[in-house]
Amino acid sequence: MTRRALLVALAHPDDETFGTGGLMARAVDEGHRVVIACATRGEAGEIADPALATPETLGRVREDELRGAAAVLGVRDVRFLGFRDSGMAGTAENGHPDALINAPAEEVVRRLVREIRDVRPDVVVTFEPGGIYGHPDHIAISERVTAAVGAAADPGRWPEDGRPHAVRRLYYVAIPRSALVEWRGLAQAQGVQWGFGDPGLIEKAFADDDIDASVDVSPWIQRKKAAVAAHATQLGTVEKMPEAFRDRLYAREWFVLARGDRDGELLAGL
């Protein structure tokens, strides 16, 4: 078997576990190299348990949490790009000068090009362009990673930042409408409001036919749950739901092919 490399490039600590935790654990178990690039340290998020962090320590605590979650999944190479969490849309954090959304796009793309040329991944994964539920950082990282995958292969772009590298396939993490409908129904049966706080989420979701890879990650579900638990400052609604709900939520991961050959199987020939 050829050992391949997978680069997962997302915005905040915990993005990697929910969208790609099972995929990464599977890739590691199959002998592939997996690297996580996280644009921010989640500095602007809410703190689930005030005993664990303060707004001042949150970034450092979440860096440790991400390294812990990654270790559970078998991923040792975690890189922080050093931008600041921009916060949810419409919050004061959006205006912070160090926020990811306020960094010049070229600066973020260049940072990612350096990582791509260093890791030299066969497959790159980031968010779909809508950012799953519209978080400004999710939308930004999707755009910047997509641009960086193109630029990394171009010898004319930042030649001093590494040897050009062509990524074979770029995938977007996405959630199909049918899954969101199912989860909403399960949550309502438990009397819980759920849906990332976005009432238009289901209408905006990807149609099931637009999903290129639907990956059954149930064999890795215990590790995925342990990785979720490692993000202790972020434990929220989902973790309070019954186990059967979480098992449904975590059992599959979905991807849309943004660039490269369609083959329907994310890691086959990764």
Residues that bind Zn ion (CB under 5 A): 11-12, 15
Cβ nearer to Zn ion, comparing 133 with 206: 133
Comparing CB distances to Zn ion, the nearer of 11 and 249 is 11
If phi > 0 it is left, if psi is from -120 to 50 it is alpha, else beta; for residue 129 that is alpha
Strands (E), the chain: 5-10, 33-38, 77-80, 123-127, 169-174, 213-216, 252-259
Shortest CA distance to 136 belongs to which of 91, 175, 169?
91
What is the smallest separation between the CB atom of 219 and Zn ion, expressed in angstroms?
25
Q: Indicate the residue among 12 and 114 with the shorter CB distance to Zn ion.
A: 12
* Lookup result for tokens 């350096």: 114
Give the shortest CB-263-to-Zn ion separation in angstroms: 28
Cα separation, 15 vs 18, in Å, equals: 6
CB of residue 19 to Zn ion, shortest distance in Å: 9
Q: How far is the CB of 83 from Zn ion (least distance, A)?
A: 13
Least Å distance, CB 153 to Zn ion, is 27
Evaluate whether 201 touches 157 at the Cβ level (below 8 Å): no
| Spatial contact of 74 and 46, defined as CB atoms under 8 Å apart | no
Task: Rank residues 15 and 65 by Cβ distance to Zn ion and give the closer one.
Answer: 15
Cβ proximity to Zn ion, 15 vs 253, nearer residue: 15
Shortest CB 200 distance to Zn ion, Å: 18
Q: Report which residue's Cβ sits closest to Zn ion.
A: 12
* H or E element, residue 28: helix 15-29
Q: Distance (Å, rounded) from C-alpha 84 to C-alpha 76?
A: 22
Smaller CB separation from Zn ion, 32 or 231: 231
Question: What percentage of the chain's residues is helix, strand, coil (to nearest 5)?
Answer: 45, 15, 40
